[in-house]
Copies of this chain bind each other. A is one copy, B any other.
Amino acid sequence: MEAVLEDLLTADASAGETTRPERLVEAMRYASLGGGKRLRPVLVLEAAALFGRTDDGAAVAGAALEFIHCYSLVHDDLPAMDDDDLRRGQPTVHKAFDEATAILAGDALLTLAFDVIADERVHADAAVRLRLSRELARAAGIGGMAGGQMLDLESEGRERSEAEIRTLQAMKTGALLRYACRAGAILADAREDDVERLTRFGEIIGLAFQLADDLLDVEATPEMTGKATGKDAEAGKATLVGLLGIEATRSEISRLLTEAQELLSPFGEKAQTLSALAAFIAHRNH
């Protein structure tokens, strides 16, 4: 996965491009090659493998998704947004470079994703690549991730119902995880009912992911997560942990994990990595 990301970011200017400014490439590399769990691309790879697709194409689609994820971190960290100085234990992009470069690096990563998802390696059929591209735009845009970040910013110091928080989280973090699982099935030519099954799996692990994240924000230290913690409470943001309590949150995570694993049962042994990923997401401590 790292090699694919690295290749895409060090490529010379493509047809239709003039030149790739060095400082912007550096900031984009800093934003996307600095480690990270690569959870989204791995979900694409594993979902594709479930239906027998194991070549480079899934990694390229996963890279497009990772660029979207990385852009969102760069913009979310900006002073006008969550104002974070640390990410994965390192200075955030606007600290390591400057704010203008961080804004542009985010914009360029977001845009690059739509070049990458159109890559011939992703699927031989242009109609499938177009479907993946359009669904990616919807997962990442106003009715998905970007919209979720807007709702999250509006949550500061405001009461939110459980339903509102669930909507916000389904958009802010859920949409890309859902897309990852769905995209893997689509590019592997899975039947539509299997695409829907993987979509549901993605939604459930998205919920588990966010609950685990909220728990970490309450219970972990910055040393464990490599970023500031306790920020939700500090910002007066309502979370499900705050509404449900720690014990009920833990139970819900377990219930979701069981549901996710049941969805994979028809695939037997072939789904063991995907099942392990679901468990990792539910029980992670970093």
Interface residues of A, Cβ cutoff 8 Å to B? 13-21, 23-25, 28, 71, 75, 78, 80-81, 98-101, 103-104, 106-108, 110-115, 118, 126-127, 129-131, 133-144, 146-151, 153-154, 167, 170-171, 175
Contacts and interface: CB of A to CB of B under 8 A. Distances in A.
Contacts of A170: 18
A138 B14 contact: yes
Contacts of A78: 100, 103
Which of A28, A78, A140, A150 has the most chain B CB atoms closer than 10 A to its own CB? A150
A53 B144 CA distance: 34
Contacts of A115: 134, 137-138, 141
Given A78-B100, A108-B141, 16 more contacts: A16-B138, A18-B148, A18-B175, A19-B167, A21-B147, A21-B150, A24-B142, A24-B146, A81-B103, A111-B137, A111-B140, A111-B141, A111-B142, A114-B136, A126-B131, A127-B130
B110 A142 contact: no
A15 B101 contact: no
A142 B21 contact: yes
What copy number does this chain have within its complex? 2
A18 to B, nearest CB: 5
B16 A139 contact: yes
Given A24-B150, A75-B103, A118 B134 contact: yes
The SS class assigned to the A binding surface is helix
Contacts of A103: 75, 78, 80-81, 103
A154 B23 contact: yes
A1 to B, nearest CB: 21
A160 to B, nearest CB: 13
Contacts of A146: 24, 104, 107-108, 111
Contacts of A133: 114, 118, 130, 133
A134 to B, nearest CB: 4
Contacts of A14: 138, 143
Contacts of A175: 18
A94 to B, nearest CB: 8
B114 A137 contact: yes
A142 B17 contact: yes
A107 to B, nearest CB: 5
